[in-house]
Each structure stands twice: as structure tokens, then as C-alpha cells.
Amino acid sequence: MIRRASLVLVGALMGATAMGVVYSAVAPAVAANTSTYRELAIFGDVFERVRAQYVTPPQDDKLIENAINGMLTSLDPHSSYMNSTDAEDMRTQTRGEFGGLGIEVTMEDDLVKVTSPIDDTPAARAGVLAGDFISKIDGVDVRGLKLEDAVEKMRGAVGTPIKLTILRKGADKPIELSIVRDVIAVRAVKFRTEGDVGYLRVISFTEKTYDDLKKGIEKIKADVPADKLKGYVLDLRLNPGGLLDQAINVSDAFLERGEVVSTRGRNPDETRRFNATPGDLTDGKPVIVLVNGGSASASEIVAGALQDLKRATVLGTRSFGKGSVQTIIPLGEAGALRLTTALYYTPSGKSIQGTGITPDIKVEQPLPPELLGKVEAQGESDLRGHIQGQSETDEGSGSVAYVPPETKDDLQLNYALDLLRGKKSDKAFPASPEQAELKK
């Protein structure tokens, strides 16, 4: 039942991270007029004067890269130039695998703290434990490094060695470990059973997402008999987006028919429509989709499709509201141009650009005391220079993006579980596909 759309990424600009991109062929460039070339001549003059007269000698490549980025960021927050390093990082993210050690980390007290070693990876086999602090990487102190810089040092070519100095509570001296890097496959979907309910958390939309989702559903169906399984929770909270084809395939996994999404570019003939194919992997069981302000782009495509086609009930708070599509255009020296080329629309023909997905059932997730006043709602409509959505209002898009680490504290998840088990009721649940108005 899986269909293969063009390889497309759609992501959100959330904080310092977030991106949305697309790989596809694009139309040839349109020739500039005479006045445009005059303006380019002025740019060349400025460039030469800066090179010759600036107080300290600038780097030519940096000047040009920053000039390009200045042009692109004046268009919208999601268009940008990627140098070879940035482009390779993006390709790594979309593949969902990289050469590394297999640990999830954070920064604490200027040290890299291991939050979790991934099962059956070099780090786990070497004895790295959750709670360990990495103080040195190949003999170099990590203090003073940014987390992303430390992570970059730990990644590397498969088969290459790395030495870690680890501080462990209870150990009387630092632990020295030598680990050989291997291919680390990042799980795009985490799944489990919550008693008689299947729980599927889509972390990101990489090349592995649909396959991981399918495996999760199969495992849940094997663990819980069909007559006992109440339904599924599809958790898209804190999901910043990813590949468009994977968003379409994930939506299709729950659908039997109907348009999943359409993308509309500058010219009418650039409109593309993507339809579901027969074959609901969940056998028609009730589905509740969880969203919050951290649900963006590809995750909004899924939520919007399942909501409009009345296959699922959407619960939570308003999503981020990124409804644009970026095309990745390869450039010289392995760099790439990330350019906004289209907007996407849900099956009902609605653009969520600057508005987001409004849940069928609004359930706020309270912040813990230590985060009060430190976490604010953010959405596409808050981004300077964002493309104005056709339905955008002063209300804007987005909401607070917070999910408690413990299930017992997760009001949104527990509300969904109560609905599926019949402990709560709402007119929006269960959704009924038969009531959906399909485009013909």
C-alpha cells in the first residue's frame, strides 16, 4: 500500500534548529533583465571594496556565503544556503543513520552527560551507562565546547576509533574507554503498548519512518489480540517535520482513500496531489493524534490529513503552523540551495501556513514549576519574515511545546487513553471516515 512520492523534506524553524527541505527537479532559471545586471555590478563593486579596504582582511568565501544567505533570509525564514558541511548534515538527518557511538546526550555542568546508550551499539557494548559524564574526547577537555561541537567530535567514519574519558558516580577515578565507531541507525518511531492501547511516537520523518511505523504496528498487533486492542495513539508532539514522502506514507498507513495533501507552487501547473491507497495497517481501529506547538510541517500534514478525512481525532494544542515546502537544489562543491517553492494544503483545501492545526479536542499540558516563565508559545506566525498564510489571523499559530518525561504526568496522553477506553467521551471521538467529504 505504500506509495513513493518525490523525496521531500518539510520542517520547522524552531529555536536554533529546524529545517524543511525537498529533493526534486526544478524549472530552469529565468534570465534577468538589464537593470538586474546593473544591480549585480554594484554588488561586485561593493565586494571588491570590502576585500581591498576593510580594516582586517576578510575571507572571500565567507563574504559570498553571507551575502547569499542575506538574500535568501530576506525571502522567508526557511530559505537558505547550505555549505558542504551543512548539506552533508542534512543528508545524514534524512537518512536516519550516521557513523558514531550510539548515545543520547545532553550538556550538564559543562560536561557531556549520557542520558541513554542505544541498545546494541558500540557505546553500549563498551559499557557506557546512562548518567555517565564525558569529560574528555580523544584527550581533549569538553569544557568550553558547545554540545553540537562535542557531538560532532564523537561522530566520524565507520571503523575509526575514539577515546572517551568518563566520570561515573561511585567510581574512584575517571574511566578510559576506547570505542570503534559503527553505523548508528536512529529510530524514527518509538512504540509500546499502554495496556490495551497501542502507542506510536513519530520522532521525525526520515527515510526510515514508514518502515519503523509499520514494524511498531505489527508488534502491537502481535502483543495485543484484536478483540482487546482499543485503538492507537499517534504522538506527533515535538516533531519538527522531515520528508514529505514519509508524511504521505505515514498518513496512508491509516487511510483507505482520499487526498492526503496537495502542494501548490508559483504557477498553477505546478500543483501536485497525493492520494491514499487502499490498506489500513490498523484495521480501522480508533486513532487519536496528539499535537502541540512542537508539531510542525510534515507532522502537520499527517495530522491535517487524518483530521480532514475523519480517520482520527486530533487532541492537544495548536500546532506550529509551517505550511511551506522547500526544494533542495544541489550547487557546486557539494553545497546546496534550500528554497521555498510551494505551499501545502490539507485535503479540505486549507493552508495551515501561519495558523497551524486546531485540535478537535483542546487539552493543555501544564508546565512544571521549574519551567514556568521560561517556556513560551512559539509558532510560524512569530517568525520574522514568514510567508503570510491565506487564513492567518492575529491569533497566529503555535502553542507551548512541552511533554512530561513521565506518562503519569502527561495529561494529553492520559486524556487520549481515557477516550479510547471509554472512561471519557467527546463528540469529536471516535472519528468517522464515512462522514468525510472526499474530493472527486
DSSP of 352-395 = -TTT-PPPSEE---PPPGGGTTT---B-GGGSTTPPPPTT--TT
Spacing of C-alpha 428 from chain mean position: 27
Q: Cα(395)–Cα(217) distance, rounded to whole angstroms?
A: 37
Q: Cα(360)–Cα(288) distance, rounded to whole angstroms?
A: 10
Mean pLDDT of the 12-17 span: 34
- Say if residue 1's pLDDT is above 70: no
Q: Where are the beta strands (DSSP E) in 95-226?
A: 97-100, 103-108, 111-117, 133-137, 140-141, 161-167, 175-180, 182-185, 189-194, 197-202
Buried b (16+ CB within 10 A) or exposed e, 146-163: eeeebbeebeeeeeeebe
pLDDT of residue 440: 53
pLDDT of residue 30: 61
For residue 20, what is its C-alpha cell? 524543511
- Say if residue 24's pLDDT is above 50: no
Q: Which residues fall within 8 angstroms of residue 194, CB to CB, at 6 or more apart? A: 233, 407, 413, 417
pLDDT tens digits for range 101-126: 988 888 888 899 998 888 789 999 99
For residue 48, what is its C-alpha cell? 571588491
Are residues 182 and 122 in contact, defined by beta-carbon separation less than 8 angstroms?
Answer: yes
Most confident of 235-244, 282-291, 393-402: 282-291
Band the pLDDT of 4: cuts 50, 70, 90.
Answer: very low
For residue 34, what is its C-alpha cell? 538589464
pLDDT tens digits for range 405-418: 899 999 999 999 99
Which domains are present in the chain? 9-95 (no CATH), 97-185 (2.30.42.10), 189-325+341-435 (3.90.226.10)
pLDDT of residue 405: 87
For residue 170, what is its C-alpha cell? 561511585
Q: What percent of the chain has pLDDT over 70?
A: 92
Are residues 205 and 238 in contact, defined by beta-carbon separation less than 8 angstroms?
Answer: no
pLDDT of residue 345: 96
Most confident of 121-130, 185-194, 287-296: 287-296
Band the pLDDT of 85: cuts 50, 70, 90.
Answer: confident
Are residues 375 and 396 in contact, defined by beta-carbon separation less than 8 angstroms?
Answer: no
Q: Residue 186 has what DSSP assignment? A: P
Mean pLDDT of the 147-159 span: 88
> Cell numbers 463528540 correspond to what residue?
427
Are residues 23 and 7 in contact, defined by beta-carbon separation less than 8 angstroms?
Answer: yes
Buried b (16+ CB within 10 A) or exposed e, 257-266: ebbbbbbbbe
Q: Cα(136)–Cα(388) distance, rounded to whole angstroms?
A: 47
Are residues 380 and 293 in contact, defined by beta-carbon separation less than 8 angstroms?
Answer: no
To which H or E segment does residue 150 belong? helix 147-154
Q: Which residues pair with 205 in a beta bridge?
A: 242
Which one is predicted more confidently, 204 or 93?
A: 204
pLDDT of residue 309: 98
- Say if residue 371's pLDDT is above 90: no
Active site residues: 297, 308, 322
pLDDT of residue 32: 65
Band the pLDDT of 261: cuts 50, 70, 90.
Answer: very high
- Say if residue 232's pLDDT is above 70: yes
Q: Cα(425)–Cα(403) distance, rounded to whole angstroms?
A: 23
Q: Cα(285)–Cα(262) distance, rounded to whole angstroms?
A: 26
- Say if residue 44's pLDDT is above 80: yes
Which one is predicted more confidently, 6 or 372?
A: 372
Mean pLDDT of the 392-408 span: 92
pLDDT of residue 439: 62
pLDDT of residue 178: 95
Cis before 430? omega within 30? yes
pLDDT of residue 3: 40
- Say if residue 75's pLDDT is above 70: yes
- Say if residue 46's pLDDT is above 70: yes
Alpha helices in 290-381 (DSSP H): 298-308
Alpha helices in 6-131 (DSSP H): 34-53, 60-73, 84-95, 122-126
pLDDT of residue 29: 58
Tell me how crowded residue 133 is: count the other CB atoms within 10 A of its CB. Answer: 19
pLDDT of residue 364: 97
> Cell numbers 491565506 correspond to what residue?
390
The type of residue at 179 is: I
pLDDT tens digits for range 127-141: 999 899 999 999 999
Q: What is the mean pLDDT of the chain?
A: 89
- Say if residue 65's pLDDT is above 70: yes
Mean pLDDT of the 253-258 span: 97
Band the pLDDT of 36: cuts 50, 70, 90.
Answer: confident
332 by DSSP, 3-state: which?
helix
**Which bin fits 354, alpha (ψ -120 to 50), beta or left (φ > 0)?**
left
Which pTM was predicted? 0.82
For residue 39, what is its C-alpha cell? 544591480
pLDDT of residue 174: 95
The type of residue at 252 is: D
pLDDT of residue 18: 33
